Amino acid sequence: MSERILVRSLGVSDAVIIGMGSMIGAGVFAAWGPAAAAAGNGLAIGLVIAAVVAFCNATSSAQLAAVHPASGGTYLYGRRQLGPVWGYLAGWGFVVGKTASCAAMALTVGAYLWPAHDRAVAVVAVVAITAVNIGGLTRTVAVTRLLLVVSLGALTAVVVAGWSSGSADLGRLMPIESDLLGVLESAGFLFFAFAGYARIATLGEEVRDPARTITRAIPLALAAVLVVYAVVGVTALAVVPVDQLADSAAPLRLVVEAGRLEGLAPVVRVGAGVAALGVLLNLIPGISRTAMAMARDRELPVWFAHVDHRRPLPLRAELTVAAVAIALVVVLDLRSAIGVSGVAVLTYYAVTNAAALSLTTQQRRWPRAFAIVGFVGCCTLAVALPAAVVLTGGAALLVGLVVRWLVRLRV
């Protein structure tokens, strides 16, 4: 029986839509609070820095995907370009970072849908999405497009409602009252809102003329998302005092409530909740399958490599991810969950850029300088995050290396 291959049916516009749909999700509804706490109105600069780092990371991912057209992301690229330990560090960083993202997404659901019981709602969200995943529903391209429409609709409601407020004042954006460290910290938090941009780099088998399509789609998608985020961020800063944004787990809800169009509030609450649930629908199976792949390579306990007999799913890995996400929901607040995710995911992309730097001139499709900026940017933003989350994220990465050492002793 011949192996089935993917159809090259997607053009530049399709790839841009998929990339935007992978980025514009719950992160944009949640990241403004921690960013405002870090940099005040200087978060606007932090947003641009986060976008630049995301762009460089995406170009590195695209080059590596072209050279290594197989599943696994930087776990695979790191192993092949730099060595097994670096591949493992990237894979473990992905597992840790995205599991923390699951907690952040679940807490976002609670913050917007029922803030008085946000943690309870978050736990229910994780349980519900896990049950849905076990039942066989996956996040398809069609679902990604639908979620993009829902997210853009809710963000449009935020902007319209915000500028209906009589208190909206662009003067709040100036002068910028933040130091460099605060701006970099805000960029580390806002990087969370760009999560998913590397999805474009994985479309190599599905797009027409991959070299041209992916090369054009990455900057177009990131530029479009940056415009959307800039409009939302300027609106939030102009409408709501920055100290109130900093104290809120649902900052865009405050923007709507400050306006005169109260009827738009349910649109934003539901839109944020749907966007967060959509991200969870994608994250949990993605993490579990990465853990399964690492277990098959004897990088994690082989117990996680088990595939259920009744359902073709890595059920043990998926249930473990859900259980850890629920534990994080209980012990972390939204700001800490985003921060820990940032430390681990930025580590993942630092390895991505390091792997891209090892490519030959013939394999390179983007200037080497992009990978250098991406590597330096990832390291800088990771250490600029609050010390507590840097230590927590760093400890989690160190635990992963110890686990690998113990597993390898038994091989």
Residues 333/85, Cβ–Cβ less than 8 Å: no
Give the per-residue pLDDT at 1. Answer: 40
Give the per-residue pLDDT at 138. Answer: 65
Residue 110 lies in a domain: yes
**In a 10 Å sphere around its CB, with 0-12 CB exposed, 13-18 middle and 19+ buried, how is residue 134 labelled?**
middle
Residues 256/264, Cβ–Cβ less than 8 Å: yes
Residue 121 lies in a domain: yes
Residue 286 lies in a domain: yes
Residue 5 lies in a domain: no
Which tokens hold the place of 72?
Answer: 């696994």
Question: What is the rounded CA–CA span in Å between residue 324 and residue 337?
Answer: 12
Question: What is the rounded CA–CA span in Å between residue 367 and residue 357?
Answer: 10
**CA distances, 298 to each of 71, 289, 344 (Å):** 17, 14, 21
Residue 4 lies in a domain: no
Rounded mean pLDDT for each run of 10 residues along the chain, 411 residues in total: 51 81 84 96 95 93 83 87 96 95 95 94 95 76 81 94 90 88 97 81 66 79 91 95 94 93 91 90 87 91 88 88 97 96 96 96 92 98 97 96 88 62
**CA distances, 7 to each of 10, 15, 30 (Å):** 9, 14, 36
Q: Which of 284, 381, 359, 390 is nearest to 78 (CA)?
A: 359
Residue 7 lies in a domain: no
Q: Which residues pair with 10 in a beta bridge?
A: 207
Residue 3 lies in a domain: no
Q: Which residues pair with 2 in a beta bridge?
A: none
Residues 234/44, Cβ–Cβ less than 8 Å: yes
Our count of domains for the chain comes to: 1
Show the 3-state SS of the chain. Answer: CCCCCCCCCECHHHHHHHHHHHHCCCHHHHCHHHHHHHHHHHHHHHHHHHHHHHHHHHHHHHHHHHHCCCCCCHHHHHHHHCCHHHHHHHHHHHHHHHHHHHHHHHHHHHHHHCHHHHHHHHHHHHHHHHHHHHCCCCCCHHHHHHHHHHHHHHHHHHHHHHHCCCCCCHHHHCCCCCCHHHHHHHHHHHHHHHCCHHHHHHCCCCECCHHHHHHHHHHHHHHHHHHHHHHHHHHHHHHCCHHHHHCCCCHHHHHHHHCCCHHHHHHHHHHHHHHHHHHHHHHHHHHHHHHHHHHHCCCCCHHHHCCCCCCCCCHHHHHHHHHHHHHHHHHCCHHHHHHHHHHHHHHHHHHHHHHHHCCCCCCCCCCHHHHHHHHHHHHHHHHHCCHHHHHHHHHHHHHHHHHHHHHHHCC
Q: Which of 180, 286, 148, 161 is nearest to 232 (CA)?
A: 161
Give the per-residue pLDDT at 212. Answer: 75
Helices 12-23 and 210-239 cross at an angle (nearest 10°) of: 40
Could you give the angle at the alpha carbon of 362 between the alpha carbons of 361 and 367, nearest 5°?
Answer: 45
CATH number at residue 58: 1.20.1740.10
Which residue type, as a one-letter code, is found at position 222? L
Question: What is the rounded CA–CA span in Å between residue 377 and residue 188?
Answer: 10
Give me the domain span that covers residue 31: 12-409
Residue 51 lies in a domain: yes
Q: Which of 370, 47, 392 is nearest to 191 (CA)?
A: 47
The whole-model pTM stands at 0.91
Question: What is the rounded CA–CA span in Å between residue 118 and residue 102?
Answer: 14
